[in-house]
Structure 1
Amino acid sequence: MASSLASSVFLCPLANPKFPSPSPNPNPNPRRRRKRSSSQSRFSPISACSASSFRNGTPPETECPVPLEQQPVNEYQALSTSFPFSWAAADLQDYCSRLALTGVSFALFVGLPVAAFGTRAVTDPEVDGLRCALGSVFTGLLAVTLAVVRMYLGWAYVGNRLLSATVEYEETGWYDGQIWVKTPEVLARDRLLGSFSVKPLLSRVKLTLVGLAVSLVACVFLFINIENPRNPAEDAGERAVAGVYNDASARSFEPDAFCGEPDLS
């Protein structure tokens, strides 16, 4: 009896290192094991094509025929990092400082020399300086206005493509234009991006354009209403315009004919 018990203990697989020990919790149900294996195979690593599509903003399950550089989300990313469109996407302080620096640079290096050259004929120094200052300010405002208009056109184009349900694209050139209808996932993503990222930028640019337009009109109004002093010596020797009588011009040409007659002017 003792020998049989010892032999049974010796032949037990738990005590013999040559035999592997059974698992403590065996899975008697093969269906559960099959489900687990299928779930593990479902979460396989993402392929290179899928990873590139995620980086480009297109879900891997969406077969988008639009080239990468013509997709609205990629156009938005390219516009937000290009000059000068990235100014509108910056903070309000950086946006205003960049526009002010641009205007001052054009006013000093372009507008001031041109205005100084154009106002040399004015004899009054006060009027001369005022006209020169207004001309330089007008040049700076005009340069900033052109830059802001360019920003508005670019962001409005990208915003329309993001909010639209279709995308117009070209496969190889202008002659083979196509239209792709966005899937619900892509349409929701693009409209969120256009509503919360592009529309605030357009509102900021519109307000800037309104302010610049008012400033330009004020500069033009002041420049026109500045009195240009006339030199009396030049008025005495100017010739009469055909069809218009000028008493001073007539007296300067024929002084003997007006002897003893009162001055009509």
Structure 2
Amino acid sequence: MATTLLHLSPKSPPASAPSFPVPNSPFSRPRFLPLRPIKTNNSNTKTISSYKSGNGSNTPPLPETECPVPPEQQPINEYQSLSTSFPFSWASVDVVEYCSRLFATGASFALFVGLPVAWFGSAGPISDPVRPVLASVSSGILLVTVAVLRMYLGWAYVGNRLLSATVEYEETGWYDGQIWVKTAEVLARDRLLGSFSVKPVLIRLKYTLVTLAVSLLVCVLPLINVDQGGQDSSYMTSKEARVQAIPGVYDDDSARSFEPDAFCGEPDLS
């Protein structure tokens, strides 16, 4: 019996695609931006160096870095100092706190200053207590009116400087008529601040002045009527006392008959 031997040769690996060297593509690996800043050739671009603030963070400089106006005369600094000074800061607080402060100021002045002066400076305050009370209330309202008027003038001045496109300033102690035209960035910021922070305060102060004027008028008119009524009553009392001083002895007719020169040119009362 013949045996057939098969020679099994190992399998050759499958043919693969030929490999070619791959060039370095710019997208084959991630690339990072250089650490050095990119230089621009724009001549209008200004280099602004950041400065170190107190809390340790780099903060960009303010738009007024190259502003010729002194810092205390710049509108933004005037607004900040006004909003934190006494009594101008009262106008920018909450409505309840604002009204309570004005009421406390007027009531304190009327109670501790106006009332003692009106009480001890008038004749017969016990018999007529309405007059000193009205006078003290009027003094308190008048003081609050003066304070609110002063606040309105200060806020109106700062508001006009914020909304204006130019700023008048003084380089020396004398007024030298210097004017600085605001840049677009400064003008936009100042007008936003003046429109949304200063105008509501001015409207509140206007309403307050109208209310105080009406209240002062209401207190002064009765005081004038009381004074006129007191003068009329005192005049009638003195006239009656003069007529009834010596009843049956002295009257106008007897005086005219005995002293005709004293009544020269006057018509006869009979």
* TM-score past 0.5 threshold: yes
Deviations 1:153-191 (A, max 9, x none): 000000000000000001121243300000111000000
Tell me the distance in 1 between the aligned counterparts of 2:124 and 2:157: 47
> Do residues 74 (structure 1) and 84 (structure 2) align?
no
- In the TM superposition, 1:68-147 aligns within 5 A as 68-121=71-124, 125=127, 128-147=128-147
Amino acid at match of 2:207: L
Tell me the distance in 2 between the aligned counterparts of 1:47 and 1:224: 66
Amino acid at match of 1:198: V
| Matched residues, number | 216
Residue 26 and residue 99 in structure 1: after superposition, are their counterparts in 2 closer, same or farther (change >3 A)?
A: closer
Tell me the distance in 2 between the aligned counterparts of 1:26 and 1:142: 77
Deviations 1:15-50 (A, max 9, x none): xxxxxxxxx9486xxxx866x62249999971359x
> Do residues 38 (structure 1) and 42 (structure 2) align?
no
SS of the aligned residue for 1:174 comes to: coil
Give the corresponding residue for 1:47: 51
Residue 134 and residue 70 in structure 1: after superposition, are their counterparts in 2 closer, same or farther (change >3 A)?
A: same
- Structure 2 unmatched runs, 5+: 1-27, 255-268
Residue 256 (structure 1) shift = 3.3
Tell me the distance in 2 between the aligned counterparts of 1:187 and 1:63: 15
Residue 260 and residue 205 in structure 1: after superposition, are their counterparts in 2 closer, same or farther (change >3 A)?
A: closer
TM-score by length of 1: 0.70
| 1:64 alignment partner, one of 60, 67, 73 | 67
> Is the CA contact 1:171–1:177 (under 8 Å) kept in the aligned structure 2?
no
Give the corresponding residue for 2:23: none
Query: Which has the larger Rg?
Result: 2
> Is the CA contact 1:112–1:133 (under 8 Å) kept in the aligned structure 2?
yes
Tell me the distance in 2 between the aligned counterparts of 1:259 and 1:203: 65
Amino acid at match of 1:176: D
Identity of aligned residues (%): 58
Give the corresponding residue for 1:205: 205
The CA RMSD over aligned residues, in Å, is 3.5
Of Structure 1 and Structure 2, which has the larger fraction of its residues in helix?
1
SS of the aligned residue for 2:172 comes to: coil
Tell me the distance in 2 between the aligned counterparts of 1:260 and 1:72: 81
Residue 257 (structure 1) shift = 5.0
Residue 236 (structure 1) shift = 4.7
Give the corresponding residue for 1:220: 220
SS of the aligned residue for 2:69 comes to: coil
